């Protein structure tokens, strides 16, 4: 918990308290170090960073201010298509390690139009960290919606994303049309301003349907039951694994479960 903040109701009870801090780039948040240092000790915290920006510049004073804790780890995400220098990325990975912070995995997106570059950067990154994983590309490329079934690739994707139902995936994640659908969540998402949402689509769009705000009002208690959503079709791929769905006629399905077309 953060000192001097009013106690809030639990969202739901979990045996393991897991917290993922992602972005955008989380180190850009002005209270990034304060938040890390004031979370309860029993949280298992994973920070995913692109290892760029002012937080890592110079002697990276912010890294040294992070309190050492057993269940804190960083993951790295290298965005070569955004013209991020591989040399600067590697330099900041090394800075983070020297500060005594554990780095678990480094990810790189396997864009279908840049596979040779992906393999080249992967080998360079493995020289400074052993656990480098290629992730599948999400979105449209040359008129096709990705990701595709594994047999359609000529590269190995080490990072599993949970998308296995390629029959129903386009209907929910193509960003083309909306329909009503029941959705079952297994996590809650926090925006930088404290707003709380049930899925990435609502988070990234600042959707009017939110669960409240951590700082300004009480947060609704989540009972892990299906809720009715009218934006199915614009789902974010990050929610493919964690959100079972159910049609209005009661038919249940899951994007994470394999099904034949």
Q: Is the peptide bond prior to 147 cis by the omega test (within 30 degrees of 0)?
A: yes
**What letter would DSSP give residue 166?**
T
pLDDT over 90 (residue 25): yes
What is the reported pLDDT for 250? 95
pLDDT over 50 (residue 7): no
Share of residues in the chain with pLDDT > 70 (%): 90
What is the reported pLDDT for 187? 83
pLDDT over 60 (residue 6): no
Task: State the DSSP H helix or E strand holding residue 172, giving kind and residue range, or none if neither.
Answer: helix 169-173
Average pLDDT over residues 170-186: 94
Average pLDDT over residues 135-156: 91
Q: Dump strand ranges (E) for 111-206.
A: 132-136, 139-141, 144-146, 179-183, 189-190, 195-197
213 — phi, psi (to 5°)? -135, 135
pLDDT over 80 (residue 14): no
What is the reported pLDDT for 15? 61
Residue 252 structure tokens: 């249940």
pLDDT over 80 (residue 11): no
In the chain, which residues fall in CATH 3.40.50? 1-161
What is the reported pLDDT for 261? 53
Give 1-161's CATH code, choosing from 3.30.420, 3.40.50, 1.10.238, 3.30.70.
3.40.50
Q: Report the C-alpha gap between 72 and 83 in whole angstroms.
A: 29
What is the reported pLDDT for 36? 95
* Whole-Å CA distances, 17 to 65, 122, 124, 238: 23, 32, 34, 20
**What letter would DSSP give residue 30?**
T
pLDDT digit string, tens, across residues 205-217: 999 998 888 887 6
pTM: 0.84
Average pLDDT, the chain: 89
Q: Report the C-alpha gap between 155 and 161 in whole angstroms.
A: 15
The residue among 261 and 226 whose pLDDT is bigger is: 226
What is the reported pLDDT for 221? 65
Is the sign of the CA dihedral 85, 89, 91, 95 positive or negative? positive
Q: Is the peptide bond prior to 53 cis by the omega test (within 30 degrees of 0)?
A: no
What is the reported pLDDT for 222? 66
Contacts 24+ apart (CB under 8 A), 39-42: 39/1, 39/2, 40/1, 41/69, 41/71, 42/17, 42/71
The residue among 160 and 140 whose pLDDT is bigger is: 140
Question: Which residues make beta-bridge pairs with 46?
Answer: 20, 73
pLDDT digit string, tens, across residues 71-102: 999 999 999 999 899 999 999 999 999 999 99
């Amino acid at each position: 918990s953060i000192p001097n903040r009013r106690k809030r109701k639990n969202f739901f009870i979990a045996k393991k308290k897991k917290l993922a801090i992602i972005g955008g780039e989380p180190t850009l948040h002005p209270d990034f170090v304060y938040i890390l240092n004031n979370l309860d000790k029993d949280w298992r915290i994973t920070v995913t960073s692109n290892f760029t920006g002012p937080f890592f510049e110079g002697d990276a004073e912010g890294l040294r201010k992070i309190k050492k804790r057993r269940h804190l780890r960083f993951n790295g995400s290298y965005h070569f298509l955004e013209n991020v220098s591989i040399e600067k990325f590697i330099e900041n990975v090394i800075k983070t390690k020297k500060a005594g912070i554990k780095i678990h995995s480094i990810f790189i997106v396997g864009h279908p139009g840049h596979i040779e570059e992906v393999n080249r950067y992967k080998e360079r990154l493995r020289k400074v960290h052993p656990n480098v994983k290629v992730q599948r590309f999400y979105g449209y490329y040359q008129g096709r919606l990705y990701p595709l079934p594994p047999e359609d690739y000529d590269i190995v994707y080490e990072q599993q994303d949970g998308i296995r139902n390629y029959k129903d995936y386009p209907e929910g994640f193509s960003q083309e049309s909306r329909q009503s659908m029941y959705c079952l969540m297994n996590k809650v998402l926090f925006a930088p301003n404290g707003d709380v949402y049930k899925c990435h689509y609502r988070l990234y769009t600042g959707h009017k349907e939110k669960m409240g705000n951590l700082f300004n009002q009480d947060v609704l208690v989540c009972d892990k039951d299906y809720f009715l959503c009218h934006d199915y079709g614009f789902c974010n791929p990050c929610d493919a694994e964690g959100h079972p769905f159910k049609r209005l006629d009661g038919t249940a399905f899951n994007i994470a479960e394999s099904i034949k077309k």
